[in-house]
Structure 1
Amino acid sequence: MSISSNILQQTNYSGVIIAMEKNLIEFIMYCSCIPGAQAYQSIDHIAATTGIPQPSLNVVMGINMDEQTIMARIKEVMIPFKARHVPMLWWIFPDTQPANLGHYLKQSGLQYNGAEYGMTIELSQLPTSLPPIDGFSIEEVENATALQEWIHVSSIAFGGDASNIDPNYIKFEQCLGWGKDLPYRRFLGRLNGKAVATSSIFLGAGVAGLFSVGTLPEARGRGIGSTISLAPLSVASALGYNIGVLQASPTGYSIYTNIGFQKCCSIQTYLWAPR
């Protein structure tokens, strides 16, 4: 996959939202290159499953289904996820069809998983600097040791158990590799030498998608989240990208507004998990 896709110029929110969904789709398809993953593009949806028991790595997106046959289609789409017994998400963006898809997903046994904010920023408007944080530095992940630290910090930051990180998730991240020539690049923040924060960026669909922004609990409240977010976006800007996008949880919203992101839409997710 090349990072030289047509770069999105300044556009209205409608165009950005379409690019945001396509960026996420390209990212999921990119992640599906790992052994054992399955991904396909149908006429009315895109689906991917890595087999790793994290809902965000097993998804249905780009949905444009006929309401007359929607219940049967949902049942068909769910077959591979249920067969592999992995939790999964349906992503509902503003242009998803039918507009009341959530109603049918509930009838099919899925649960509403909440809403996230779709956010965007013109990279030319990024702050040139943020208030300095004593002892804090950022590096790009460029070797196996740094990647292992990145995986450890990211897992804990997102609520995982430090003593029991899923080995399949470790293999997944290792399989994606590292390198400045790849569309997926990770960044690691250190406080007084200790790895405490992560972020990553995926360059696709003409925009820069920001992902995996996390900080260890003991290092929060110092502005580290904003600073670790700024680093990959600055890299994307230097490569000629104009627009940054992300999906923010309500708790992360203030981090992104702090560096200039603006809300452009609401994105819903519905969850299925094996009993």
Structure 2
Amino acid sequence: MYPDLLDRIDKNNRDWLKSWGCLVIQLPQAAICLNPDFAHYNGIFAIDCPKREAAPLMQELVEKIKTESGQRPTVWLDRYCKPASLPQILSELGFHLASISYTMYAEPTDVKGRPVADLSSFSIREVENPLELRRWIGVYCQAFGVANQTKETRRWGLAFRKQQLSFFAGVLKETDQPVVTGQLETTHQIGGLYSIGTNPTYRHQGFAFTMTAYLAIAASRFDLKDIYLIAESEDNERFFDRFGFREILQVQNWQQS
């Protein structure tokens, strides 16, 4: 089950990156992602090479990304990357383990029946026009601590125009104030839940999980039997674990010192 599931998740992730302007290139022994506007998305992943070739390959790809983007790349390692000694090789090349993210999987029925926020004062809407998108981006920047809203406007404006990604906003009915964001990617027979975040002023009221449950229901309307998300910390992993998601893959994020 998991190899097929992870293959569809990988394809979905690549489509999500491409939807807002990342260039994803598949090479014989690795894949690279390039985006000059967002340094943390310049990276190397899906590495599969003989041990003796790993160090020179990493050096070559690091220099290529520096040349193309002007940024130092991240290397994303999971248990399917080869050789197994890649962490040691990266350490010798001046990289350090910066963080770990967690790919989590559920079936829509696992999530959509869980308790949600008080919907008498709260509703979720799909973003349908540029004005609503600007408001969505404002909440996204607040939720994720993003200072440069201009870049985010360019990034998500491109994805919105391509119509490859559905945007959703959770709105307080009394004030029409958006307070939580979410996205749904539905290619490759799987639903990817992205950008679930709440304005810090309105956290701990159930809005983020209500958005998660709503996206799970939306995924089931596309006749998708599987959904996934990526938790960026152990705290986020524990949060989503409470609502039916389970970890299926850890990804180490290595950065140059």
TM-score by length of 1: 0.83
Q: Are 2:5 and 1:19 equivalent residues in the alignment?
A: no
C-alpha deviation, 1:159, in angstroms: 1.8
Separation of aligned partners in 2, 1:227 and 1:13: 27
Q: Are 2:199 and 1:210 equivalent residues in the alignment?
A: no
Question: In the alignment, what sits opposite 2:93?
Answer: 108
Question: In the alignment, what sits opposite 2:135?
Answer: 149
Separation of aligned partners in 2, 1:86 and 1:155: 22
The structure with the greater share of residues assigned to helix is: 2
Q: How does 1:238-253 map to 2 (within 5 A)?
A: 238-248=221-231, 249-253=233-237
Given that 1:25 and 1:61 are in contact with CA atoms closer than 8 Å, whether structure 2 keeps it comes out as no
Percent identity between the two aligned chains: 21
Paired AA for residue 106 in structure 2: I
- Provide the alpha-carbon RMSD of the alignment: 2.2
Q: Deviations over 1:111-146 (max 9, x none)?
A: 212212221011233333633425221111111111
Question: In the alignment, what sits opposite 1:4?
Answer: none
Where do 4+ consecutive residues of structure 1 move more than 3 Å?
none
Secondary structure of the corresponding residue to residue 112 of structure 2: coil
Question: In the alignment, what sits opposite 1:228?
Answer: 211
Q: How does 1:1-80 map to 2 (within 5 A)?
A: 12-31=1-20, 34=21, 38-55=23-40, 57-80=41-64
Q: How does 1:105-144 map to 2 (within 5 A)?
A: 105-128=90-113, 130-133=115-118, 134-144=120-130
Q: Deviations over 1:220-272 (max 9, x none)?
A: 11111111112222111111111011221212123322331112222211124
Aligned length: 252
Once structures 1 and 2 are overlaid, which stretch shifts more, 14-23 or 221-230? 14-23
Given that 1:138 and 1:189 are in contact with CA atoms closer than 8 Å, whether structure 2 keeps it comes out as yes
Paired AA for residue 8 in structure 2: A
Q: Deviations over 1:177-214 (max 9, x none)?
A: 258xx441111112342111111122233311111111
Question: In the alignment, what sits opposite 2:170?
Answer: 189
Once structures 1 and 2 are overlaid, which stretch shifts more, 79-88 or 97-106? 79-88
Once structures 1 and 2 are overlaid, which stretch shifts more, 261-270 or 80-89? 80-89
Query: In the superposition, relative to structure 1, how do residues 45 and 130 fare at CA in structure 2: closer, same or farther (>3 Å)?
Result: same
Question: In the alignment, what sits opposite 2:244?
Answer: 260
Query: In the superposition, relative to structure 1, how do residues 231 and 81 fare at CA in structure 2: closer, same or farther (>3 Å)?
Result: same
Separation of aligned partners in 2, 1:178 and 1:258: 35
- Give ranges in structure 2 of 5+ residues lacking alignment: none
Paired AA for residue 173 in structure 1: W
Separation of aligned partners in 1, 2:57 and 2:185: 30
Given that 1:53 and 1:87 are in contact with CA atoms closer than 8 Å, whether structure 2 keeps it comes out as no
Query: In the superposition, relative to structure 1, how do residues 203 and 87 fare at CA in structure 2: closer, same or farther (>3 Å)?
Result: farther
Given that 1:207 and 1:241 are in contact with CA atoms closer than 8 Å, whether structure 2 keeps it comes out as yes
Once structures 1 and 2 are overlaid, which stretch shifts more, 255-264 or 144-153? 255-264
Separation of aligned partners in 1, 2:202 and 2:72: 30
TM-score by length of 2: 0.88
